[in-house]
């Protein structure tokens, strides 16, 4: 299911370009039959305007884009591979303590090197509210103690490091539009009620296609993964992490990949990247304190390990963690 080598990546991209229109037709037929969606591929194009002029985008899908080890490693590794790095956010999702990625956006693990040369991890709880009020809160509605909402806080850190070169568009309205235009909707959705994610089966207002509502993952996930069939985008992901706190996500991924392959005759293009272990969520403070830090890191000798794309990203990640 995963693309693990450079040769495999190059081969699948050439193959998908040659049959792109055929897959597009199959994709639209499937989306119409399964979801009652018209011109699904056009909806995808509308929400991914960064995929144009033959550029292949590498997509890191995270609810909130920031400057952690993974973000920086993906930026460097993608450029090495000739891919345009993009992070797709999903800010309409909700906060749950069980998800260690979301947890690290609230309790940010800043790292730095002390004057004595010791590696230090300093956790900053950026939430303005107490922990008992965060569970179930819509991510975009969480406020920080720094006077910004959680998304603006992390995106602001990102902009200070990368400038405009590392896009992080939000996919929330893509899901909302698919829900609004579908004639085969789920039996329930989640509604934003006073900043909290509340299960709702009435669905009044779903036709507005705004981010008041979001569909359940079991409904939208096949549509989401199908975005990576045409060869314009490759997904960077792994579910090979027993400590992720969301074991059901791996089962959903594997089941959905098999369903799409059986319907389309092809798997979505997914490059395996390192598991999202705690050190991949570290935020190295040097990239905030030193405006030239990213430039210095980029000037280092980074190599592609052709036999393992995952190891390529992990090696770069180690350099990000140790950088000072």
| HEC assignment per residue over 161-188 | HHHHHCCCCECHHHHHHHHHHCCCCCCC
Residue 245: pLDDT band (50, 70, 90) is low
**What are the structural domain ranges in the chain?**
6-322
H or E element at residue 315: helix 309-322
Contacts 24+ apart (CB under 8 A), 78-82: 78/236, 80/302, 80/303, 80/304, 80/312, 81/6, 81/9, 81/304, 81/309, 82/56
Backbone phi, psi, residue 26, to 5° = -65, -40
* Amino acid 53: pLDDT: 86
d(CA 226, CA 234): 11
189 CB neighbour count, 10 Å cutoff = 22
Terminal Cα-to-Cα distance of the chain (whole angstroms): 37
CA dist 324 and 138 (Å) reads: 35
Both tokens of residue 57? Answer: 């985008």
What is the model's pLDDT at position 205? 87
Strand order in the sheet with 189-193: 196-200, 189-193, 213-214
Residue entry with tokens 């550029």: 55
- Helix spans in 36-144 (H): 40-47, 69-80, 100-106
Rounded to an integer, what distance in angstroms lies between the CA atom of residue 215 and that of residue 224?
A: 12
Question: With 60 as the cut, is the pLDDT of residue 9 above it?
Answer: yes
The pLDDT mean for the chain works out to 95
| Tens digit of each residue's pLDDT (9 = 90 or more) over 33-88 | 999 999 999 999 999 999 888 899 999 999 999 999 999 999 999 999 999 999 99
- pLDDT score of 244: 56
Band (pLDDT 50/70/90 cuts) for residue 240 is: confident
Contact 124, 107 (CB under 8 A): yes
Q: For residue 197, what are the β-bridge partners? A: 192
pLDDT, tens digit, 9 for 90 and up, residues 162-219: 998 899 999 999 999 999 999 999 999 999 999 999 999 988 889 988 999 999 999 9
pLDDT value of position 203: 85
Residue 88's pLDDT is what?
A: 98
| pLDDT tens by residue, 206-237 | 998 899 999 999 999 999 999 999 999 999 99
pTM of this prediction?
0.95
Q: For 131-156, what is the mean pLDDT? A: 97
């Amino acid at each position: 299911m995963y693309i693990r080598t450079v040769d495999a990546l190059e081969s699948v991209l050439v193959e998908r370009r040659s049959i792109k229109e055929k897959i597009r037709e199959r994709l639209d037929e499937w989306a119409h039959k399964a979801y009652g969606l018209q011109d699904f591929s056009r909806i995808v194009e509308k929400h991914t305007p960064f995929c144009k002029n033959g550029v292949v985008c590498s997509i890191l899908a995270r609810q909130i884009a920031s400057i952690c080890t993974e973000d920086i490693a993906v930026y460097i590794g993608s450029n090495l591979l000739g891919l345009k790095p993009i992070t797709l956010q999903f800010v309409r999702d909700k906060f749950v303590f069980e998800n260690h990625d979301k947890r690290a956006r609230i309790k940010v693990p800043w790292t730095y090197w002390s004057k004595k040369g010791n590696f230090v991890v300093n956790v900053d709880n950026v939430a303005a509210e107490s922990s008992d009020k965060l569970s179930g809160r819509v991510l975009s509605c969480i406020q920080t103690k720094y006077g910004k909402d959680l998304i603006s806080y992390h995106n602001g850190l990102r902009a200070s490091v990368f400038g405009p070169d590392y896009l992080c568009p939000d996919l929330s309205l893509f899901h909302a539009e698919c829900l609004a235009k579908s004639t085969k909707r789920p039996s329930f959705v989640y509604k934003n009620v006073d900043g909290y994610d509340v299960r709702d089966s009435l669905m009044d207002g779903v036709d507005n296609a705004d981010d008041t509502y979001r569909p359940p993952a079991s409904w939208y996930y096949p549509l989401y993964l199908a975005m990576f069939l045409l060869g314009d985008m490759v997904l960077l992901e792994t579910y090979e992490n027993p400590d992720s706190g969301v074991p059901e996500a791996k089962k959903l991924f594997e089941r959905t990949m098999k369903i799409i392959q059986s319907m389309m005759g092809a798997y979505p293009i997914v490059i395996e990247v390192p598991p999202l272990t705690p050190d991949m969520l570290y935020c190295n403070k040097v990239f905030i304190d030193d405006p030239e830090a990213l430039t210095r890191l980029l000037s280092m000798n980074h190599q592609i390990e052709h036999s393992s794309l995952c190891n390529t990203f992990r090696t770069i990640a180690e350099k990000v963690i140790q950088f000072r």
